[in-house]
Structure 1
Amino acid sequence: MKTVSVKELVSKIRLKPIAGEEFLNRAITTSEICRPGLELAGYFDYHPAERIQLFGLTEISFIEKLSVEKRHDYFERLCSDETPCFIISRRLTPPKELVEEAIKAGVPILQASSRTTHVSSSVTNYLEEQLAPRTSIHGVLIDVHGVGMLITGESGVGKSETALELVQKGHRLVADDRVELYQLDELTLVGESPEILANLIEIRGIGIIDVLTLFGAGSILEKKQVDLVVHLENWAPGKTYERIGIDLEMVEYLGVSVPKMRIPVKTGRNVSIILEVAAMNFRAKNMGFDASIAFQERLSKLISDNKE
């Protein structure tokens, strides 16, 4: 099971350790956050101990009305072995009883300057991205005219060469050879490069090239939503390929369906131009104009006129 350490969370979100800094190696296993309201009233039957415990102005104000004995009791029960950390929003000062029990249990306390709801959304968004289901596939991911295009195909079909030509035309590389995919939500699939391959493209006959060094910072992108899958395949004589674009094939990764098109490759075909046009046509369809439907309407009108 993938986890994120509290130390990683602190480095990515504006959080300040104010107690138990030596315990930042504790693991976070879920993106869900708990604001312990019922727990501060003494109800622990369904307390989600594995979640980050977030205290805002409401919780801190309520705690001040509790007796010292109740504070120690409730905080001791909140500081379980599963609890990754406590976060105090709005730069509020944590109760000294919480600090004592947290240090005793080895649970760090972090402080945030933002509003409680903002802290909650920031932490949740980061953890959902890091803890999302992931898979790795062979392919190239590139941003073409704002469309996240995942290029797949057999080894040697020309995926990396096509990506290099697209980068040279001003489009942005996300990943070459291996693409790490993760599900952001039910409708969104995001791809990024493995850290070891970031900014690199392998070109047979040349070797490894660094796109960032050769083409500049504007030629790369850290991550991108996958909008369209383009499968490159060697042209097979006699095989029928889509010519109008009415029938849309779909492919599924991690439960997210993405449109897919197959592009036949042979000598003399400028694949990079075809992919640029594919991206622009995809955007046009999303904006409400579908050339294949327009063609069908013209054809129907022509048939109707001829009958008359």
Structure 2
Amino acid sequence: MKNVAVHKLQKKFNLTIFSGEELLDKKHITIKDISRPALELAGYDAYYPKKRIQVLGKTELTFLYSLEPEVQKLRFKNLLLETVPCIILTRGFKPTESMLSLAQKSNIPILGTERTTTDFIALSTDFLDRDLAPTKTIHGVLVDIYGVGVLIKGQSGIGKSETALELIKRGHRLISDDAVELRSIRERAIIGAAPKVLEHLLEIRGVGLINVVSLFGTGCVRSQKEVELVINLEHWDDKKSYERLGLDKHYFEVFGVNIEMHTIPVAPGRNLAIIMEIAAMNHRAKKIGTNTPEEFSKKLNSLITQNQ
């Protein structure tokens, strides 16, 4: 199971450490969802999401601080189960001495932020969504063509990087060359990014590695992009029948998500960059309701029916 050390969250959002600094590398977050314990502070503990970060905002703390000291201590102590990664106070609130004492005894860090509760939960959930997402690295090139994330696959030496270079020269953007890190973020969304060591680099055989930012500027790259279309390049095979109308649908499956895939045969004289631009534009057209192959098929069937 993937996890994120509390220290990483603290560093990312510059959280104030009220107690448990020595625990930040030992406590780990395994669930992206965050809990705001309201009913628990009111005394209802039949269900308590004890593996989540517990965030106390203005509403929770105002209520907690209004309780009698002994009741306040009891209710707060009930939150401090061993599996809780940490307690975070928002809006600049500070813990009481009794809260600090109880947290230290229970080995639960207490952190704080000046951000509002809503803002902090939104930002931290997004951060954890990325860091806890299932991840795999595959061989390929990822480019942004007209706003469509296109993953180019194919055997080594078939021309993936050279095609990406031509696309960059035509104004499109590179996300990653050679290796693409795929993450399953949110329901049915696959996000691709470059491994840190390969960011902005493109390998051109016979030339070597080039830094596309140095040659073409910062506008030719982006850090990540949702993968919406897969182009599989393969050497032209005269014995194989390739799609001509576009009625048959093929998919590339990753993390249970099926992404539309086209197989493009590579042969002398075929401009792969232009073909990929057309594929991306056609994908966008389908999303807004324009499906040329289906429209052609309907017209053809209608014509056949009329002539019978």
Alignment-derived partner of residue 82 in structure 2: 81
Cα distance per residue 1:61-82 (max 9 Å; x no partner): 2212323223333333433333
- More deviation, 286-295/88-97: 88-97
Contact 1:186 1:256 in 2 (8 A): no
Contact 1:75 1:97 in 2 (8 A): no
Equivalent position amino acid for 2:194 in 1: S
Residues in 1 aligned to 2:139 and 2:170: alpha-carbon distance in whole angstroms: 23
Residues 135-154 of structure 1 aligned to structure 2 (within 5 Å): 135-154=136-155
Tell me the secondary structure at the aligned position of residue 95 of structure 2.
Answer: coil
TM-score w.r.t. the length of structure 1 is: 0.91
Alignment-derived partner of residue 10 in structure 2: 10
Alignment-derived partner of residue 173 in structure 2: 172
Equivalent position amino acid for 1:17 in 2: I
Cα distance per residue 1:36-63 (max 9 Å; x no partner): 2233234445433321011012211221
Alignment-derived partner of residue 40 in structure 2: 39
Residues 152-231 of structure 1 aligned to structure 2 (within 5 Å): 152-231=153-232
Deviation of the 1:303 alpha carbon: 3.8
Deviation of the 1:224 alpha carbon: 0.5
RMSD: 2.1
Tell me the secondary structure at the aligned position of residue 150 of structure 2.
Answer: strand
Equivalent position amino acid for 1:227 in 2: E
Residues in 2 aligned to 1:100 and 1:66: alpha-carbon distance in whole angstroms: 18
Equivalent position amino acid for 1:5 in 2: A
Given the alignment of the two structures, is residue 241 of structure 1 paired with residue 270 of structure 2, yes or no? no
Residues in 1 aligned to 2:289 and 2:45: alpha-carbon distance in whole angstroms: 52
Equivalent position amino acid for 2:97 in 1: K
- More deviation, 184-193/17-26: 17-26
TM-score w.r.t. the length of structure 2 is: 0.91
Equivalent position amino acid for 1:188 in 2: A
Tell me the secondary structure at the aligned position of residue 66 of structure 2.
Answer: coil
- More deviation, 66-75/256-265: 66-75
Q: Does the C-alpha gap of structure 1 residues 111 and 145 become closer, same or farther in structure 2, counting only changes over 3 Å?
A: same
Cα distance per residue 1:183-216 (max 9 Å; x no partner): 1123211111111111111121111111222211
Given the alignment of the two structures, is residue 66 of structure 1 paired with residue 61 of structure 2, yes or no? no
Cα distance per residue 1:143-180 (max 9 Å; x no partner): 00100001111111111111111112111111111111
Residues in 2 aligned to 1:75 and 1:237: alpha-carbon distance in whole angstroms: 73
Structure 2's unaligned 5+ residue stretches are: none
Residues 251-290 of structure 1 aligned to structure 2 (within 5 Å): 251-290=252-291
Equivalent position amino acid for 1:278 in 2: A
Residues in 1 aligned to 2:305 and 2:77: alpha-carbon distance in whole angstroms: 80
Given the alignment of the two structures, is residue 24 of structure 1 paired with residue 24 of structure 2, yes or no? yes
Alignment-derived partner of residue 134 in structure 2: 133
Residues in 1 aligned to 2:125 and 2:7: alpha-carbon distance in whole angstroms: 16
The count of corresponding residues between Structure 1 and Structure 2 is: 307
Residues in 2 aligned to 1:51 and 1:303: alpha-carbon distance in whole angstroms: 62
Residues in 1 aligned to 2:192 and 2:44: alpha-carbon distance in whole angstroms: 42
Residues in 2 aligned to 1:270 and 1:22: alpha-carbon distance in whole angstroms: 59
Residues in 2 aligned to 1:75 and 1:64: alpha-carbon distance in whole angstroms: 10
- More deviation, 60-69/159-168: 60-69
